[in-house]
Amino acid sequence: MGDYFHDYAVFAALIVVGGAVVGGGLAANRLLRPDRPTREKLTTYECGVDPVGDHWAQSYVRYYVFAYLYVVFAVDAVFLFPWATVFSLPGYGGATLAEMFVFLGFLAAGLLYAGRKGVLSWT
């Protein structure tokens, strides 16, 4: 029973030490940084352009969907590398190859669906 609680004590000690390191870093930053707020520094900065007009602006969702599709397909492409290593092992070749083509079929279907919806057209 002593080993059981010892594991929790080690975990609690790691949490305390980690919190102290993070808190110490933040406190050191607060003490050592220069703090000279001015009116210009407190204004909203938006890509080098001074904000003008209302605080709400409409943006196109198409750009976000395009970026989301890129992330989805880039992350899914990462799964091809482990399959390539398993493909070389004896006894896994045919099944791994079939699974890879099923996976690529799903990716192609998603890309075809996005193309038919007009998401991939930039203008």
Q: What angle do CA 107, 111, 114 make, to 5 degrees?
A: 140
Residue 25 or residue 102, greater confidence? 25
Q: Does residue 4 belong to any structural domain of this protein?
A: no
State the pLDDT at residue 32: 95
b/e map of 83-105 (b: 16 or more CB within 10 Å)? eeeebeeeeeeeebeeebeeeee
Burial class (CB in 10 A: 0-12, 13-18, 19+), 69: middle
Residue 5 placed within a domain: no
pTM: 0.42
Of 76, 67, 66, nearest to 108 by C-alpha is 76
Instruction: Read off the pLDDT of residues 75-120 as tens digits, 9 standing for 90 and up.
Output: 777 777 777 777 777 777 777 778 888 888 988 888 888 888 877 7
Q: Is residue 65 part of a domain?
A: yes
Number of domains in the chain: 1
Domain that holds residue 75: 61-116
* Residue 112, domain member (yes or no): yes
**Separation of alpha carbons 99 and 75, rounded Å:** 17
| 26 part of a folded domain | no
